[in-house]
């Protein structure tokens, strides 16, 4: 497999107390030995085609958090819809794409 400098692996999201950040903005972070070790371990275990690849840079992608206090999703029948004919799925805080296969 030919590698390019454009390949990336996104591993997690962070919470922020900022209220005025824009969705998808990336914040540079310093290398963290634990994060580097965990990311490299993930690459070795789950992506064997990238043998010898290691994490070389980091960034945090900020997403708007759910409006729910507990940050949980809201999934189910609308409470005013007869016979559950209207379904609701909301509050994914910018990370719902990770759960799309099971939802």
Kindly report the backbone phi and psi dihedral angles of residue 38, in degrees, each rounded to the nearest multiple of 5, phi listed first: -65, -40
Please check the confidence at residue 60 and state whether its pLDDT lies above 60: no
- The pLDDT value recorded for residue 91 is 65
Asked whether residue 2 falls in the same domain as residue 43, the answer is: yes
pLDDT digits (tens, 9 = 90+) for 15-45: 445 554 444 455 556 677 777 788 788 878 8
> How many structural domains does the chain have?
2
Asked whether residue 85 falls in the same domain as residue 59, the answer is: no
Which residues span the domain enclosing 48?
Answer: 1-64
CB 4 within 8 A of CB 53: no
pLDDT digits (tens, 9 = 90+) for 66-90: 555 666 677 788 888 788 778 877 7
Going by C-alpha positions, the residue among 58, 77, 75 that lies closest to residue 14 is 58
Distances (CA, A) of 58 to 9, 11, 29, 48, 90: 10, 10, 6, 21, 29
Asked whether residue 50 falls in the same domain as residue 74, the answer is: no
DSSP 3-state assignment of 9? coil
Asked whether residue 48 falls in the same domain as residue 94, the answer is: no
């Amino acid at each position: 497999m030919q590698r390019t400098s454009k390949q990336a692996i996104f591993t997690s999201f962070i919470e922020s107390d900022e209220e005025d950040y824009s969705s998808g903005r990336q914040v540079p972070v310093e290398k963290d030995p634990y994060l580097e070790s965990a990311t490299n371990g993930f690459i070795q275990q789950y992506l064997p085609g990238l043998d010898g690849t290691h994490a070389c840079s980091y960034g945090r992608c900020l997403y708007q958090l759910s409006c729910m206090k507990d940050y949980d999703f809201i999934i189910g029948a609308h409470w005013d819809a007869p016979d559950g004919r209207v379904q609701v799925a909301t509050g994914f805080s910018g990370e719902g794409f990770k759960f799309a296969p099971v939802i």
